[in-house]
Amino acid sequence: MLRLNDVRTIAVIGAGVMGSGIAQTFAQAGYAVRLQARRDETLRAALERIGRNQEAMARAGLLDREAARKALLRIRTTTDVSEAVRDCQFVSESVPEELALKREIFAIMDRSAPKDALLTTNTSGLSVSAIAAATTRPEAVVGFHWMNPPHLMPPVEVIRGQQTADAAIELTCKIAGRIGRVPIRVEKDVPGFLWNRLQLALVREALHVLEEGIAGPEAIDQAITHGLGLRWAAVGPIRTMDLGGLATFHAIAEYLYRDLSAAEAPQGLLANKVAAGETGHRAGRGFYDYRDGSGEAAIAARDARLFELLKLQRLPAFCQQDSPHS
Ligand SMILES: NC(=O)c1ccc[n+]([C@@H]2O[C@H](COP(=O)([O-])OP(=O)(O)OC[C@H]3O[C@@H](n4cnc5c(N)ncnc54)[C@H](O)[C@@H]3O)[C@@H](O)[C@H]2O)c1
């Protein structure tokens, strides 16, 4: 099995929203990157997006401009999957979320990548094991699930497929650390992995609260951004129980669980909005109204806040320094 320092070149397959940010992150950490998309036009757009992301990070004081320039030079592009993976030790796949397509791409990668290369998938929720089954090396296939926007979000889920070898998990976690990400180990290949299970449990209850008229969108969002989110940035929910006292949480769970949503399908409120085309800021309307063009401002405000919070976290990937490999 490869060791951390054997890994020098990374293939990133798919150059959309996720693939471009992932390529940027690996390049900024000093890795040589082979970025693949089917069309030259997509690759050009990806490099432009990376440039814009870097400029925003530089303006926020999270990235040195010279380091950013050097990182861009480490990215080579190609439209050919086989060529992209040929001399790589680690592959990060981010093509659209379709099992048949991912299996097809993994079969190509398996044929063309060096025999000891690790193959990882950024699937949001497809079975890692089903993707791995398209290869002759399921022990070297790992779920490596990034958060959007990938060039900024520190956690990356590392998911064990049914046949994934321990050594593949260990190496993937080490690589995550090397690129300044926090590896979150997920021991079972279950729908939603960890992040989306937690997120959707909260989203389900937020929709329930809205439907019942218990609180409006602003109140729900403020309870998180000024309350739970702030606390959870300091301690997660499990340690929160320890610090608050398990007996208290037990008592609350006893009377509250039965009152919480146990919806088994997306609630009507969400389904109706989607059916009406009110799908969020791009459509001009979601739970809030963006017809005055306030969607862009909402995104800019979110990103500015995220930059400030990232600075507070003091992770090495977001300090103005040159990469370890350069
Ligand atoms: N967008 C998110 O918030 C997010 C977060 C985490 C994980 N993911 C996962 O990452 C993966 C990619 O998502 P994205 O949002 O970057 O998608 P995207 O549509 O922005 O990009 C997909 C890329 O795949 C390429 N592609 C499209 N069809 C292809 C085909 N038939 N063969 C080969 N390449 C093809 C596209 O050119 C593009 O480069 C998905 O599995 C998604 O579930 C997305």
Beta strands in 152-198 (DSSP E): 155-160, 182-186
CA 48/CA 45 separation, integer angstroms: 5
Looking at residue 80, its amino acid is D
Atom of ligand 1 nearest to the CA of 125: 43
Distance 93 CA to ligand 1 centre (A): 9
> What is residue 324's predicted lDDT score, i.e. its pLDDT?
47
Which pLDDT value is given to residue 312? 86
Q: Express each pLDDT in 3-58 by its tens digit.
A: 999 999 999 999 999 999 999 999 999 999 999 999 999 999 999 999 999 999 99
The Å distance, Cα 14 to ligand 1 centre, comes to 6
Statement: residue 65 has pLDDT above 90: yes
17 alpha carbon – ligand 1 mean position (Å): 7
Checking if the pLDDT of 156 tops 90, the result is yes
Length of the chain: 326
Chain mean position to CA 218: 26
Higher pLDDT, 265 or 320: 265
In percent, the amount of the chain with pLDDT more than 70 equals 98
Residues 6+ apart with CB under 8 A from 281: 288, 290, 295, 296, 298, 299
pLDDT tens for residues 32-41? 999 999 999 9
Rounded to whole angstroms, the Cα distance separating 153 from 263 reads 29
Q: Is the CB of 123 under 6 A from ligand 1?
A: yes
- Model confidence at 326: pLDDT above 80: no
| 97 Cβ inside 6 Å of ligand 1 | yes
Q: How confident is the model at residue 314 (pLDDT cuts 50, 70, 90)?
A: confident
To 5 degrees, how large is the angle CA 188–CA 11–CA 1? 60
- Residue 319: CB within 6 Å of ligand 1? no
Single out the residue of 72, 82, 64, 84 nearest to residue 30, CA to CA.
72
pLDDT surpassing 80 at residue 76: yes
